[in-house]
Amino acid sequence: MMIHVKLIANYREVLPPEAKHGVVELDVPAGTTVYEAISRFDIPLNDESVIVLNGLTVDMNTPLIEGDMVTAFSAIAGG
């Protein structure tokens, strides 16, 4: 099934070259969780990161469905 992963700000640096606008499309098996999808990328998987599914905070063990968007960004931002 196809899902989308969007990495924002400095997290974009770990996306593959084919990513467009910070988004990469992944073909994952049914039953893949948020954690399994996002752990493919070299980003912190702790309190440093905000990870949401379709704009909502969910448990990292939530299974994904076709077309889902997992988004990650740093909770620590300067400005």
15 burial level (CB within 10 Å; 0-12, 13-18, 19+): middle
Output the pLDDT for position 1. 97
pLDDT exceeds cutoff 80 at 79 = no
Output the pLDDT for position 18. 86
1-58 confidence digits (pLDDT tens) = 999 999 999 999 999 888 899 999 999 999 999 999 999 999 999 888 999 999 999 9
Q: Taking the model in full, what pTM does it have?
A: 0.90
Output the pLDDT for position 77. 56
Q: How far is CA 1 from CA 17, 37, 41, 56, 66, in A?
A: 21, 12, 19, 21, 5
